[in-house]
């Protein structure tokens, strides 16, 4: 689903041939791969060693390093562009991370970051709505997502301006993510990833069945054909110039 925003992200950062790019939170490397296809010189970072290894395997020749944001072990003014595709929403101190992004950018360098829009809707809310409809309460120990305050244009743009990006602003991104409904249930509810996955994993079998029944009913709102659904994906793109 996050692959759709790669093009707008790199366009906003002005990534073309010869651009020196830092890809933060590279994940499987899809942003770096497209930047390299454009002729950019890329260094990629990820906090997870396994994900860094995946990026190396997916993008031959990519320089992938391990780092946990906001720590950024790179020299000042060493990049023309810093990009992060849904990375800032995994950072516990986003304000410090953005200041570090500013530090490693050269004068007139560009920053571009994506973040999910809050409150969740469409693709991000389908499993959560099913959990709620099934009468399952969110456990007290489930934290509020660290990016909840950034999921609106004004705070997201302000995050950049507070870090020194005078023209920092955030705009909306909208697209449809078409996927097999059963695959979305498996990755969104049964994979034990994210808030919804943790909640579902704690339930007994009858409760999981009740959640799945609610999910199947709610998913019909987005049905296309052959068991597939077209889920609205709603995100923000923040950009600024150093």
CA separation (Å) from 205 to 83, 142, 193, 212? 42, 21, 18, 10
Q: What is the rounded CA–CA span in Å between residue 178 and residue 174?
A: 13
pLDDT at 156: 96
How many CB atoms sit inside 10 A of residue 173's CB? Answer: 18
How many CB atoms sit inside 10 A of residue 55's CB? Answer: 24
pLDDT at 191: 85
- Spatial contact of 241 and 12, defined as CB atoms under 8 Å apart: no
pLDDT at 148: 66
- Spatial contact of 116 and 124, defined as CB atoms under 8 Å apart: yes
- Spatial contact of 84 and 239, defined as CB atoms under 8 Å apart: no
pLDDT at 144: 67
pTM score of the predicted model: 0.91
Here the CATH number for the domain that contains residue 199 is 3.40.50.150
Give Cβ neighbours of residue 167 (< 8 Å, ≥ 6 apart). Answer: 239, 240, 241
Q: What is the rounded CA–CA span in Å between residue 39 and residue 176?
A: 29
Could you read off the pLDDT tens digit of each residue along the chain, which spans 242 residues?
Answer: 999 999 999 999 999 999 999 999 999 999 999 999 999 999 999 999 999 999 999 999 999 999 999 999 999 999 999 999 999 988 989 999 999 999 999 999 999 999 999 988 999 999 999 999 999 988 888 766 656 678 999 999 999 999 999 999 999 999 999 999 999 999 888 988 788 999 999 999 999 999 999 999 999 999 999 999 999 999 999 999 99
Number of domains in the chain: 1
Q: What is the rounded CA–CA span in Å between residue 87 and residue 165?
A: 18
Host domain of residue 73: 2-241
């Amino acid at each position: 689903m996050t692959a759709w925003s790669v093009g707008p992200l790199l366009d906003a950062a002005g990534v073309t041939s010869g651009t020196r790019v830092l890809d933060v939170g590279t994940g499987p490397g899809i942003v770096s791969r497209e930047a390299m296809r454009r002729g950019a010189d890329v260094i990629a970072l990820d906090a997870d060693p396994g994900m860094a290894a995946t990026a190396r395997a997916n993008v031959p020749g990519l320089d992938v390093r391990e780092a946990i944001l906001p720590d950024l072990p790179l020299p000042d003014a060493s990049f023309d562009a810093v990009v992060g595709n849904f990375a800032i929403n995994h950072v516990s101190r986003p304000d410090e991370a953005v200041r570090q992004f500013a530090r490693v950018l050269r004068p007139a360098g560009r920053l571009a970051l994506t973040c999910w829009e809050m409150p969740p809707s469409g693709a991000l809310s389908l499993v959560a709505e099913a959990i709620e409809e099934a009468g399952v309460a969110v456990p007290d120990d489930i934290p509020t997502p660290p990016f909840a305050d950034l999921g609106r244009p004004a705070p997201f743009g302000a995050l950049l301006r507070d870090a020194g990006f005078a023209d920092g602003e955030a705009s909306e991104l909208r697209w449809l993510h078409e996927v097999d409904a059963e695959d979305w249930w498996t990755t969104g509810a049964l994979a034990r990833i994210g808030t919804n996955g943790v909640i579902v994993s704690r339930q007994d079998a009858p409760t999981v069945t009740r959640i799945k029944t609610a999910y199947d009913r709610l998913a019909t709102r987005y049905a296309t054909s052959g068991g597939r659904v077209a889920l609205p994906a709603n995100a923000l793109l923040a950009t600024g110039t150093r």
